[in-house]
Amino acid sequence: MNADVNENTGFYGRIIAMDHNAMGDAGTKDRLRISDAAFTTKNALGMKDSTVTVGRFSQKMLPLGNWIDTTGMVDGIKITTGDKLKATLGYADFTAAGKTAEGKILEQAYFLDLSYATSKATTIGAMFLKENSSNSSANDYKVWGVGFKSQFTKDFYMFGEYTKNMDSKISYPAYDNAAGYVMRLGYKGANAKVPGSWGASVDYYKYEPGANIGDFSTSSVMMENIKGWDVCFNYAPAKNMTFEAFYQFNAKRVTDPTKEYKRTRVQLNYFF
């Protein structure tokens, strides 16, 4: 729901009726929740091309969003300014957004996200996030990262991200300053407004334990203590519809390469 409060301030609200579930899971208690409820003011603080957002909002960092890209559930304040060089600075509580596969959570944290369009085809980005040290979690996050996206031909694109957690309080001492990276090569993409359009992509990734907040990622797999490959295919069979297929292969735990994971998912989306 979008509503104008005045000429400079608007409100955005969203309710999720059911959270995503994997087949075989017992489900989630979040059957009905308010994911977004925030006020955004344009040209805030007298600065052109700036906004201030207060309330519950979504937050993405780096061009791909593989480290964090939430569907709402972030409570706080953020200021975004700039055009070609864009900066977002904020403080928020990420607790409601989820937790990692190993039960770790990201609580209150300061964050900064930067993006710069070097050309019409390429954008580079950088991020920094520091969890409040007074939080109760034994596994804190102090993370920096860099990334890029590039439409290097009309049909092909590439993403890349690298992040490092500089906090030492993680569960695996051998992986202090845990790092992670992901690379994606893609071809076109399904457009719900264009029946017959399609796309495909392939990812390679490696995330050491403590490097990532797995539940916050745009990825179809839990990006924590894992390395491997996945391929994706998407197709628009009719207007306002897309079909997606995902397959993960040769994926293993970084701490135990004998444990292999495979995951397959198909999904039909209808937009209205």
pLDDT single digits (tens) 11-39: 999 887 765 555 444 445 556 788 899 99
Q: Compute the distance between CA of residue 56 and CA of residue 234 in angstroms, rounded to an integer.
A: 31
The model's pTM: 0.84
- The gap from C-alpha 47 to its chain's centroid, in whole angstroms, comes to 28
Cβ pair 228, 251 in contact under 8 A: yes
pLDDT tens-digit readout, 121-152: 999 999 999 988 655 555 678 899 999 999 99
Cβ pair 225, 171 in contact under 8 A: no
Q: Assign residue 80 a region (left: φ > 0; alpha: ψ between -120 and 50; beta: otherwise).
A: beta
- Token couple for 210: 């403590």
Q: What's the pLDDT at 101? A: 46
Q: How many Cα atoms sit within 13 Å of 166 on the Cβ side? A: 8
Residue (of 142, 83, 137) closest to 111 by Cα position: 142
pLDDT tens-digit readout, 71-100: 888 999 999 998 889 999 999 998 887 655
How many Å is the Cα radius of gyration of the chain?
Answer: 19
What letter represents residue 31's amino acid?
R
Cβ pair 237, 92 in contact under 8 A: no
Cβ pair 74, 58 in contact under 8 A: yes
Q: What's the pLDDT at 220? A: 57
Cβ pair 18, 33 in contact under 8 A: no
Give Cβ neighbours of residue 124 (< 8 Å, ≥ 6 apart).
Answer: 63, 115, 116, 118, 146, 147, 148
